[in-house]
Amino acid sequence: MDFDLSEEHKMFQQAVRSFCEKEIAPLVDEAEATEIFPPGLFPKMGELGYICARYSAKYGAAELGKLSECILLEEVARISGGIASAVMVHSGLGTSMIADHGSEELKQKYLSPAIRGLKISAFGLTEANAGSDAANMQTKAVRSGDHYIINGTKIFITNGPYADFVCVAAYTDRSKGPGKGVSVFVVEKGTPGFTVSRKMEKLGNRSGGTAELVFDNCRVPASNLVGEEGKGFRYVMETLDGGRISHAGRSLGVAQAAYEASLKYASERVQFGQPIGKFQAIGFKLSRMATQLEAARWLTYYAAWMHDQKRRCLKEASMAKLFASEVVVDITSEAMEIHGGYGYMMDSPVQRYYRDARLYTITEGTSEIQHIVIGREIGAP
């Protein structure tokens, strides 16, 4: 067993960290204030191979694997959880079904420019009455000659306000149930009947845009069907497995940022004649934060390694997502306690870490859903 990152992974980590600190950090304050993802960042990251990094070199990607993707997302989230959310969806949920099941035409038209950061992707699954119960989606697509007519509404869609295309899940035959009745379509920005009905304001992750999308008799070419009709729900579930590992990587980044800020503050803040880190109450908090972070990181890296080995990792992906998302909530909460009133002020990044983290036990499968998945995998009664 080897618990060290390879030299290649270490070099990649250092390069990405340098990029994030120099190129992303200066953009965060404006992106948070305006709730607009920094324009131009996707092409810049695409040029360096930092988005969609695990896809085939045939389409311009770096073929770096899931572990590298987690390392990248951790470094981006260490600077901004919201920006990491946009990158994560674009590199995963918004493109992976095209990469895994799309036609060559779809890969050339959408995946290749997405890898280069020239087109931005989103993923349309969640609806008002279909969150954890995704199979209850009401969006439908009806075949009409060489087109499909899509009707429905999707909410909480990351990258929705500015996406160039969206992978949309819809029922093509409800009588067959989700297993054989759901299909996935690529819907391009500007398609008649497809509108961004509203930009949604959020408590945290503000630098990654979120929107409600409406499809009103939206006419999509049949060639924009991803894979086979009726197999879309399986494609979505496959995508969510990998997405949960990426999600854990993002949680690690925000947790790391909160921990680093707390360790620094505890060394500099003096009360009663000594740095507050010397007080056992604060020292114990820091020790626990460090332990939680290390445990979450190796659980995440193990799941990513299994994914790269093409081994079944449904249980490990859910464990990583569950543990890392709950750890980041704990660590950012403790960071607020350590920083006291200063952490509560809006000019402190600590309050941003705290707000961003609160989403992570909710999105991409709540903690409760992860418990259900893990329970099934271990054979719990």
Closest CA to 300 of 244, 363, 372: 244
Cβ neighbours, 10 Å, residue 58:
12
User: For 47, phi and psi rounded to 5 degrees?
Assistant: -60, -30
Question: What Å distances lie between residue 345 and 138, 258, 354, CA to CA?
Answer: 42, 15, 12
Note every long-range contact of 20-28, with CB atoms under 8 Å and residues 24 or more positions apart, other chains counting: 20/75, 20/76, 20/78, 20/79, 21/79, 24/76, 24/79, 24/80, 24/83, 25/79, 25/80, 27/83, 27/207, 28/79, 28/80, 28/83, 28/207
* CA–CA dist 310, 227 (Å, integer): 20
State the catalytic residues.
Answer: 364
CA 244 to chain centre: 8
CA 95 to chain centre: 12
Amino acid identity, position 309: Q
